Structure 1
Amino acid sequence: MKASVELRDKREARLRQQLKDTPMRPLPLFQLTGWTHFVDEKVEPPVLAAGSSPATGRKTDEQAIAYHRHLRMVPTDAMTHMQDMVVEAVHRNSGCREGLMDHVIDGPAGTGKTCLLRAMGRTAQKEIEAATDGRQQNTIPVVHITTPADPEPRVNWIWEIGSYLGLNPEPKSLAEVLEMRKHQDVTLPVNYVLETAQTRLLLIDDINRASPQHLANMLPYFDYLRDKLGISLIFCGTGASHRLHQARILAQDLTRVSEENRVRLEQAGLPTVPASPSPTALLPVTWLHPLPLHAEDQETFRKVLMGFEADLSLYRLEEHALSKHAVELHRRTGGYFKALTYVISTAAVIAIRSGSENITMKEIDAATAQLRY
């Protein structure tokens, strides 16, 4: 027991150092210490000195550059509605003994699905903790994992959850790391911790890495988490709704069951009814699309640009610096949130390093020089 506690402490110390050195790296988000840091994190813009002139050393100010490299997700009305809807579903599931529903986030790559997934998880955890008068010791309201690189073996999925919970054995040496070892099955300790820690929400990102057959092998375990432990699940990834639908058909052999039901009705002389849809086909799906800018919708894209403008911390930023170039920014990014964020954050860093402290078409041209979407 002492050895395992020491290894856990070393793991957490290493994670804290990673968060200090590179706070925006994604890896810590898939481990409890890093996720908790993300939930509590408050990203404040660098303070601008009085006047319009940058302070000495501004061009190499790592804090200012780091801030603009990682601009926050600018919420749209649709995203805010979706987030509120999913958080409410988590609360509703918590009050049910049966009938819990999963949720799916789907849409083309680069539309902000992962950002929305994490925003939902953070909001859900904050609301759960607020309802219990703050963070309770030994509780883990939210677990955030990504689909394993090799999603075929069931043990790899459990290993991802175990890694988040800190249950997997820490390698003791480089030789152990290099040694090809089969993952241990940590299903029992994972189930125990999820139950005793009162976990309410499991976020599963990058579901597009798994084929329907891979998911079919895992659905019974996810059903167990939902039906016995009362954990809501959110699946996220391009094509997630189709993959889950096909996986449910494979897992429950729904095609065969539907055909047998039709034959029984015919033999009994009863009218046949159309085949019922798969339970997964009835799941709530949040669809994200590229941000529009056309004759019927001239506001959504511009509102997002105005949100970015409010987040920028540049000395000479002109009014409507981004929104006045809305048409050109939409043409260059296609309205894809990921590409748009890249262009704006890169242009802001260029503005700091060049000393212009403003975003014009010059900075936008430089930021999109290498962009191929």
Structure 2
Amino acid sequence: MELRDRREARLRQQLKDTPMRPLPLFQLTGWNHFVDEEVEPPVLAAGSSPSVDRKNDELAIAYHRHLRMVPTDAMTHMQKAVVEAVHLNSGRRDGLMDHVIDGPAGTGKTCLLRAVGRAAQKEVQAATNGRQPNRIPVVHITTPADPESKVNWIWEIASYLGLNPEPKTIAEVLEMRRHPDLTLPVNYILETTQTRLLLIDDINRASPQQLANVLPYFDYLRDKLGITLIFCGTGASHLLHQARILAGDLTRVSEENRARLQQSGHPAAPASPSLTALLPVTWLHPLPLDTENQETFRKVLAGFEADLSLYRLEEHALSKHAVELHRRTGGYFKALAYVVSTAALIAIRSGSENITLKEINAATAQLGA
């Protein structure tokens, strides 16, 4: 606890020294800052012009570096589903299901994962009259650099919770030849702080066999502590399905198959469940812009337009270039967010205070498109 307090004090000082500095979201203090952060756009007085020092306005520049995630229908549905699951599963000790966010790289999976965790934590805090010092509703980790051993996965959770001491010298780093087993303190903290949601990002960095090694521990967290798990990464659904097969755990079958086994009157080998029966999956794809769907991409552009804070921003500044923006970004959310954010920064630095094809060209040149 003392080590965690010192680490949080240091991170709080970093917040004061560098406002809106991206803190590590795989640590409790950084995550809580992300949940609490309310980034308001710079106020632009009606009919006013940018001041002479606008080009160096750190508030305006910082704001446009951190444009919010513009929601899509898939993202909104996922947030509602997981928040509802966390709410319903509070106090339940069995029957929980994993959730998966899958899709090609660059489609916004990590953004969605964090948005879901943020929404879930706000839901818990609203039900408990704000943040409580003895509650950690959400834990957010990434797949370990070496995902072979279960101990390394638990180390990631311990790092988030502030349980593992940081090395103070290079000699101490070299002495850490392997991580100690922190299973007992991690389990104790997760249970006593009533953790409800475990977010696991970049699951694609693990092989099916490596994931199979740790699945029994995740099952323990789910079945004993009532923790809902969300796995995120390209190919995550197939990866988890293969890991379950390797782990020999094919007992969580569909309700129809379970009913069939009960009616048979004698034990039978459970059938291998389909991916959809085994896991609720939210698929994210590049945003379409074609004859069948002209609305989704344009709605996202309109969301970005509403968030921009530029003095001379023309109406439908992004939407009028929808076809060109889609051609250059392929509809990938990550690339699109980068282009819009960079174009806004260029508009401030150049003094144009508007996003035209000129700013888009300059932004996509940096992207390499």
**Considering the TM-score relative to the shorter chain, is it more than 0.5?**
yes
Deviation string, structure 1 residues 160-209 (Cα, Å, up to 9, x no partner) = 00011110012233432354432111110000000000101100011011
Summarize the Cα distance change of 1:126–1:284 in structure 2 as closer, same or farther, 3 Å threshold.
Answer: same
Other structure's SS at 2:42 match: coil
Residue 254 of structure 2 corresponds to: none
Task: Give the counterpart letter for 1:313 in structure 2.
Answer: S
Summarize the Cα distance change of 1:368–1:56 in structure 2 as closer, same or farther, 3 Å threshold.
Answer: same
Residue 236 of structure 1 corresponds to: 232
Q: Which moved more, 1:81-90 or 1:187-196?
A: 81-90
Residue 258 of structure 2 corresponds to: none
Residue 344 (structure 2) pairs with residue 348 (structure 1): yes
Q: Tell me by how many angstroms 1:357 deviates.
A: 0.3
Residue 213 of structure 1, aligned match among 209, 215, 219: 209
Residue 85 of structure 2, aligned match among 85, 89, 93: 89
Q: Tell me by how many angstroms 1:96 deviates.
A: 2.9
Residue 260 of structure 1 corresponds to: none
Residue 188 of structure 1 corresponds to: 184
Q: Aligned equivalents of 2:145 and 2:22: distance in 1?
A: 15
Q: Aligned equivalents of 1:59 and 1:128: distance in 2?
A: 41
Q: Aligned equivalents of 1:207 and 1:23: distance in 2?
A: 31
Residue 26 of structure 2, aligned match among 1, 12, 30: 30
Task: Give the counterpart letter for 1:320 in structure 2.
Answer: H
Task: Give the counterpart letter for 1:190 in structure 2.
Answer: V
Residue 14 of structure 1 corresponds to: 10
Deviation string, structure 1 residues 114-141 (Cα, Å, up to 9, x no partner) = 1111111111111111112222231111
* Aligned alpha-carbon RMSD (Å): 2.3
Alignment of 1:228-307 (within 5 A): 228-252=224-248, 275-277=271-273, 282-307=278-303
Task: Give the counterpart letter for 2:85 in structure 1.
Answer: A
Residue 308 of structure 2, aligned match among 306, 312, 320: 312
Q: Aligned equivalents of 2:179 and 2:187: distance in 1?
A: 17
Which blocks of at least 5 consecutive residues in structure 1 are unaligned?
Answer: 256-264
Which blocks of at least 5 consecutive residues in structure 2 are unaligned?
Answer: 252-260
Residue 145 of structure 1, aligned match among 123, 141, 149: 141
Q: Aligned equivalents of 2:59 and 2:242: distance in 1?
A: 47
Residue 125 of structure 2 corresponds to: 129
Other structure's SS at 1:233 match: strand
Q: Tell me by how many angstroms 1:248 deviates.
A: 0.3
Q: Tell me by how many angstroms 1:81 deviates.
A: 1.6
Q: Tell me by how many angstroms 1:363 deviates.
A: 0.3
Residue 41 of structure 2, aligned match among 30, 40, 45: 45
**C-alpha contact 1:309 1:321 (8 A) present in aligned 2:** yes
Task: Give the counterpart letter for 1:144 in structure 2.
Answer: H
Residue 322 (structure 2) pairs with residue 326 (structure 1): yes
Q: Aligned equivalents of 1:156 and 1:70: distance in 2?
A: 32
Q: Aligned equivalents of 1:334 and 1:21: distance in 2?
A: 38
Other structure's SS at 2:288 match: coil
User: Equivalent pairs: percent with the same residue?
Assistant: 85
Residue 198 (structure 2) pairs with residue 198 (structure 1): no
Deviation string, structure 1 residues 273-308 (Cα, Å, up to 9, x no partner) = 993316885210000011111101111100100100
Q: Which moved more, 1:281-290 or 1:199-208?
A: 281-290
Residue 52 (structure 2) pairs with residue 56 (structure 1): yes
Residue 98 of structure 1 corresponds to: 94
Task: Give the counterpart letter for 1:56 in structure 2.
Answer: V
TM-score between both structures, scaled by the size of structure 2:
0.91
**C-alpha contact 2:93 2:222 (8 A) present in aligned 1:** no
Summarize the Cα distance change of 1:110–1:94 in structure 2 as closer, same or farther, 3 Å threshold.
Answer: same
Q: Aligned equivalents of 1:141 and 1:186: distance in 2?
A: 20
Q: Which moved more, 1:28-37 or 1:237-246?
A: 28-37
Residue 140 (structure 2) pairs with residue 112 (structure 1): no
Task: Give the counterpart letter for 1:209 in structure 2.
Answer: R
**C-alpha contact 1:86 1:120 (8 A) present in aligned 2:** yes
Q: Aligned equivalents of 1:114 and 1:24: distance in 2?
A: 19
**C-alpha contact 2:238 2:275 (8 A) present in aligned 1:** no
Q: Aligned equivalents of 2:176 and 2:154: distance in 1?
A: 18
Q: Tell me by how many angstroms 1:70 deviates.
A: 1.5
